[in-house]
Chains A and B, each alone.
Chain A
Amino acid sequence: MRLFLWWLRRAVSAVATLAGVSILVFLALRAMPGGFAETILGPFASAEQQRELAERYGLDDSAFVQYWRWLQAAIGGDFGTSMISREPVASELGARLPVTGQLAVMAVLTALFIGVPLGVLTALRARPDGGGALGRLVSGLGVSLPEFVLGSIVVFVFSRYALGLSVGGYVPFADDPAGNLTAMILPAAVLSVFAISATARTTRDAVLNVLVEPYVTAAVARGESPAFIIRHHILRNAATPVVVLLSTITAYLLGGAIIVEYLFNLPGIGSYVVQAVGRRDYAVVQAGVLLAATVFIALNVIADLVVGLIDPRLGVTAEGRSM
Chain B
Amino acid sequence: MTPLMEADDLAVDYQAPGRRVRALDGVDLTVARGETVGIVGESGSGKSTLGSAIGRLLSQNAQLSHGALTIDGESLFDLSAVQMRRVRREKLGFVFQDPIGSLDPTKRVGAQLRLALRGRGASLDVTGQLERVRLADPRRIARAYPHQLSGGMAQRVAIAMAMATEPELLVADEPTAALDSQVRDDVSTMIFALAAEAGTSILWLSHDLAAVGRRCGRVAVMYGGRVVEDGPASEVLARPAHPYTHALANSAPASAAPGERLQPVPGRPPVLTGPSPGCAFADRCGFAIERCRSERPRPVRIKAQSVLCHRAEELAGSAALAVHGVGSAVATTPPVPLGGDRS
A51 partner residues in chain B, CB cutoff 8 A? none
Mask, A206-240, CB within 8 Å of B = 1, is 00000011110111111111000000110011000
Most B CB within 10 A of own CB, among A214, A221, A237, A311: A221
Give Cα distance in the complex from A220 to B162, angstroms.
Answer: 12
Q: Is B284 an interface residue (CB 8 A)?
A: no
- Of B26-34, B93-101, B180-188, B202-210, the segment with at least 4 beta carbons within 8 Å of chain A is B93-101
B115 nearest CB neighbor, chain A only: A232
B116 partner residues in chain A, CB cutoff 8 A? 219, 222
B85 partner residues in chain A, CB cutoff 8 A? 223-225
B55 nearest CB neighbor, chain A only: A221
Q: Is A30 an interface residue (CB 8 A)?
A: no
- Shortest B315–chain A CB gap in Å is 40
Instruction: Offer 9 A-B interface pairs, CB within 8 angstroms, sorted by A.
Output: A128-B60, A221-B94, A222-B161, A223-B86, A223-B92, A232-B104, A312-B105, A312-B106, A313-B105
Give Cα distance in the complex from A128 to B60, angstroms.
Answer: 7
- Shortest B23–chain A CB gap in Å is 15
CB pair B101–A233 under 8 Å, yes or no, is: no
Q: Is A127 an interface residue (CB 8 A)?
A: yes
Q: Which of B108-158 contact A (CB under 8 A)?
A: 115-116, 145, 147, 158
CB pair A221–B105 under 8 Å, yes or no, is: no
Known: A128-B61, A217-B57, A221-B55. A233 touches B104 (CB 8 A): yes
Given contact pairs A128-B61, A214-B102, A221-B57, enumerate 15 new A-B contacts (beta carbons under 8 Å): A128-B15, A128-B60, A130-B17, A214-B98, A215-B102, A217-B102, A218-B96, A218-B161, A220-B88, A221-B92, A222-B162, A223-B85, A224-B85, A311-B105, A311-B106
B87 nearest CB neighbor, chain A only: A223
CB pair B161–A217 under 8 Å, yes or no, is: no
CB pair A237–B57 under 8 Å, yes or no, is: no
Give Cα distance in the complex from A128 to B16, angstroms.
Answer: 8
CB pair A313–B17 under 8 Å, yes or no, is: no
Q: Spell out A's residues near B (CB within 8 Å).
A: 127-130, 212-215, 217-225, 232-233, 236-237, 310-313, 316
B93 partner residues in chain A, CB cutoff 8 A? 221
CB pair A215–B147 under 8 Å, yes or no, is: no
B145 partner residues in chain A, CB cutoff 8 A? 312-313
Most B CB within 10 A of own CB, among A218, A224, A313: A218
Question: Which of A217, A218, A237 sits near B106, CB closer than 8 Å?
Answer: A237
Give Cα distance in the complex from A310 to B104, angstroms.
Answer: 12
Q: Considering the complex of A and B, which 4 residue pairs feature the smallest CB-CB distances, nearest first?
A: A223-B89, A223-B88, A221-B94, A214-B101
A311 nearest CB neighbor, chain B only: B106
CB pair B104–A212 under 8 Å, yes or no, is: no
A316 nearest CB neighbor, chain B only: B147
Give Cα distance in the complex from A223 to B103, angstroms.
Answer: 15
CB pair B17–A129 under 8 Å, yes or no, is: yes
Question: Which of A127, A222, A311 sits near B89, CB closer than 8 Å?
Answer: A222
B94 partner residues in chain A, CB cutoff 8 A? 218, 221-222
Known: A221-B94, A225-B85. A215 touches B103 (CB 8 A): yes
A221 nearest CB neighbor, chain B only: B94
B343 partner residues in chain A, CB cutoff 8 A? none
A127 partner residues in chain B, CB cutoff 8 A? 60
- Shortest B13–chain A CB gap in Å is 13
CB pair B89–A214 under 8 Å, yes or no, is: no
B17 partner residues in chain A, CB cutoff 8 A? 129-130
B86 partner residues in chain A, CB cutoff 8 A? 223
CB pair B57–A310 under 8 Å, yes or no, is: no
Give Cα distance in the complex from A259 to B150, angstroms.
Answer: 53
Q: Which of B21-59 contact A (CB under 8 A)?
A: 55, 57, 59
- Shortest B235–chain A CB gap in Å is 32
Known: A129-B17, A222-B161. A215 touches B101 (CB 8 A): yes
- Shortest A294–chain B CB gap in Å is 31
Most B CB within 10 A of own CB, among A212, A222, A311: A222
- Shortest A73–chain B CB gap in Å is 45
A224 partner residues in chain B, CB cutoff 8 A? 85
Known: A221-B55, A223-B89. A312 touches B96 (CB 8 A): no
A217 partner residues in chain B, CB cutoff 8 A? 57, 96, 102
B120 nearest CB neighbor, chain A only: A223
A214 nearest CB neighbor, chain B only: B101
B16 partner residues in chain A, CB cutoff 8 A? 128
A225 partner residues in chain B, CB cutoff 8 A? 85
A311 partner residues in chain B, CB cutoff 8 A? 105-106
- Shortest B164–chain A CB gap in Å is 10
A128 partner residues in chain B, CB cutoff 8 A? 15-16, 59-61
B98 partner residues in chain A, CB cutoff 8 A? 214
